[in-house]
A and B are shown apart, each in its own frame.
Chain A
Amino acid sequence: MGLTYLEKFRDPSLAKNLVTAIHKESRLTLRLMEVCGTHTMAIFRHGIRNILPETITLLSGPGCPVCVTAQKDIDAFVAVSRQPDVIVTTFGDLMRVPGSGTTLAGQKGAGADVRMVYSVFDAVTIARQNPEKQVVFCAVGFETTIPTIAAAVLMAAKEKVTNFSIYGANKLTPPALAALMTTPGVSIDGFILPGHVSVITGVDAYRSVFETHKVPSVITGFEPIDILHAVLMLVRQNESGVPALENAYPRAVRESGNPKAREVMHQVFTVGDAAWRGIGLIKNSGMELKPDFKAFDAGAQFELNLTDVAEPKGCACGEILMGLKTPVACALYKKVCTPMTPVGPCMVSSEGACAAYYNYG
């Protein structure tokens, strides 16, 4: 995408018109949840919260892939990095996420071979270059990243790169929304749905959740104009009393999404249960390697002897991820829990709600 094109989605006069319309049309008190961590970041980075009327509260949902990676999975990544002759490869923002003990960055400092990659294919390349080592990729993220991870597994299988494997902790978005809506006390008047995930899933993936719960829902992109447009659409749906599932990101998202990407994804993975940090187990919200690809399952290759360690006391991340609390209502926020000493998942990634509140005020 060229910057000139991008700039149109940051146009101050267009933003002003949208904000004016939101102020004019918003009468009901609304709690709108941005599901995606990148939306959380964009909302803070562009100062969107403080230009909206007092009637609208924006809540951050369980959509930061790093934040929702279970403590036990982080412990597993760390445990793998302690194995002999292993290279652990990871996306950058996972490096500083604490498990029950240390982080991958801490392990790197202690001498483990932990490498930050920009793509899962870099991990396959590292495996080719280091045939005497086991190269493990920490597979985290939602539908946006799962197809590329699946494609990398297919590539490794085809090229017989047998020293490449993944430790799977991927997650699916629609089941999390469904779980959220059936949680007692959760009250959400509208979902700002993730743009990049929807490029893969399409609009159709949210239909059953929408039909069941009838929560106004808008898929949108990550520029300020995209987000303000989605807020206006959600205001209009609420004011008119006619909830809908709408696509405000047609330049990237189709009704059926990207079937080819999903085909690759399901060729390699099957749906399974997944543990979400701060929330717990959500049925059918994860991905497991199919039997044909078990050779690429790092979890089966190492004796890690992991124990369940309770999540930190006093941490309100679970409630924050479900919109039951805001970060400032957490007893640990800014006192013992900071980006330098994160306690809970919402502070561990720059996309987490607590980190965004902390960094952008």
Chain B
Amino acid sequence: MNAETNNTILLDHGAGGKASHALFSKMILPLFSNEYLDMGDDGAVYSVPAGRMAFSTDSYVVDPIFFNGGNIGDLAVNGTVNDIAMCGAIPLYISVGLIIEEGLPINDFQEIIKSMATAADRAGVKIVTGDTKVVPRGKADKIFINTSGVGMIPEGVNVSGSRALPGDKIILSGTMADHGIAILTAREGLTFDGDLKTDSAPLNHMVKMILSSGCEVHVLRDPTRGGVGTTLNEIASQSGVGMTLFEKDLPIKKPVNGVCELLGFDPLYIANEGKLLAIVPEKQASKVLDLIKADTFGKNAAIIGEVTDQRPGKVFLETAIGGQRLVDMLTGEQLPRIC
């Protein structure tokens, strides 16, 4: 059995020889093909227009690598596309670094690569350079992926976590905690009623639509690890403002909320992979909300709170029953409760 005919990834596939070449030319290149990658050079060479560029990187080590609604491949592409978009940029080119554990089934690898190609097409970005390494069994967990990317920021766009102002409205582009709960239930083999599916999605088209509408946008951020609560704490701290959220307005799917209730998790701290927070001046809020709702991935968007000049750096929640509580930054990982 050699690397050509074997049905799992072998160390040979990362050795830089014929097997490596075959993996790239037969499995990866046909799916990722574009004028830059096809050159076969050590890096991508491309022209860029004058202006400001955004550059972002992220690594993906999710377990399990396949979950309801996606896999580590499309997650890795969408994640970096979104990070670039949250800088107010239009993502153009991304790189892919693959670290594969010896023994990964070829079929799994192919499925991951296919989904990366599909995600890149959907986002309108090109995978222009990359690298593949294979490590001995036990030295990695199936597959790790790093994606980095660049995008150009249109003239006049200036979004940053430090630009939230008192009076601004906080918009969330859809339901909270979908991704984190999908991953948790898949990882732990927990079965619940309801469709617990990742929300992994590219948000660059939504961002482009908002920014090209002429609406003023102060902050864009995708609330991934740490969820909406932690992300808003970061922004409150960066901008030196306070925030008030309204529990009654927080969008969450009932099955997701049900799992959170059962395990004692606060959905405000659970990861999202296809949602954005937009902080915009009050006079623009309803227009931006309508634009987000018009997007495929923004149908359940809602204004969830406002920026205040009270208690800078703190985020508070007005509870549904009229109480108030602090939404602090998440401390460590949320752990399921005993009872």
Contact = CB atoms under 8 A, between A and B. Distances in A.
Given A19-B322, A361-B326, A3 B257 contact: yes
A283 interface: no
B283 interface: no
Given A15-B321, A19-B322, A92 B266 contact: no
B335 A339 contact: no
Nearest to B316: A361
Contacts of A19: 321-322
Nearest to B317: A47
Contact of B338 (A45, A47, A141): A141
A95 B325 contact: no
B336 interface: yes
B335 A93 contact: yes
A350 interface: yes
Given A96-B332, A360-B326, A45 B266 contact: yes
Contact of A95 (B328, B331, B335): B335
Contacts of A297: none
A110 interface: no
Contact of B335 (A48, A49, A96): A96
A65 B314 CA distance: 30
A94 to B, nearest CB: 8
Mostly, the B contact residues are loop
B326 A12 contact: no
A51 interface: yes
A142 B328 CA distance: 29
B320 interface: yes
Q: Which of B190, B263, B320 has the largest count of A CB atoms less than 10 A from its CB?
A: B320
B60 to A, nearest CB: 22
Contact of A351 (B258, B266, B325, B337): B337
Interface in A53-84: 65-66
Given A15-B321, A47-B323, A361-B325, A196 B332 contact: no
A107 interface: no
B251 to A, nearest CB: 14
Contacts of B321: 10, 12, 15-16, 19, 46-48, 51, 224, 228
Q: Which of A3, A6, A49 has the largest count of B CB atoms less than 10 A from its CB?
A: A3
Contacts of A338: 331
A163 interface: no
Interface in B216-246: none
A121 interface: no
Interface string A107-120: 00000000010100
A31 B328 CA distance: 27
A92 B336 contact: yes
Contacts of B334: 350
Contact of B332 (A44, A339, A361): A339
B127 to A, nearest CB: 35
A351 B320 CA distance: 21
B64 interface: no
B339 A38 contact: yes
B213 interface: no
Contact of B319 (A38, A46, A95, A228): A46
Interface string A282-321: 0000000000000000000000000000000000000000
Nearest to B248: A12
B259 to A, nearest CB: 11
A237 B56 CA distance: 62
Contact of A16 (B314, B322, B336): B322
Given A19-B322, A51-B321, A93 B337 contact: yes
Q: Which of B332, B336, B338 has the largest count of A CB atoms less than 10 A from its CB?
A: B338
Interface string B88-121: 0000000000000000000000000000000000
A3 B339 CA distance: 19
A144 interface: yes
A91 interface: yes
A19 B324 CA distance: 14
B328 to A, nearest CB: 5
B261 interface: yes
Nearest to B188: A118
A121 to B, nearest CB: 13
Contacts of A3: 254, 257-258
B264 interface: yes
A12 B262 CA distance: 22
B236 to A, nearest CB: 14
A102 interface: no
Contacts of A45: 266, 319, 325
Nearest to A143: B339
A238 interface: no
B332 A359 contact: no
A65 B323 contact: no
A210 interface: no
B10 to A, nearest CB: 28
B339 A144 contact: yes
Given A118-B190, A361-B326, A10 B320 contact: yes
A23 to B, nearest CB: 12
Contacts of B263: 118
B258 A91 contact: no
Contacts of A65: 338-339
16 contacts: A10-B320, A12-B321, A16-B322, A46-B321, A46-B323, A47-B321, A65-B338, A92-B336, A93-B336, A93-B337, A144-B338, A145-B339, A340-B331, A350-B335, A359-B331, A361-B316
Interface of A: 3, 6, 10, 12, 15-16, 19, 38, 41, 44-51, 65-66, 91-96, 116, 118, 140-142, 144-145, 196, 224, 228, 338-340, 350-351, 358-361
Closest 3 CB pairs between A and B? A47-B323, A361-B326, A92-B335
Given A49-B323, A118-B263, 8 more contacts: A10-B320, A51-B322, A96-B332, A145-B338, A145-B339, A228-B321, A359-B328, A361-B328
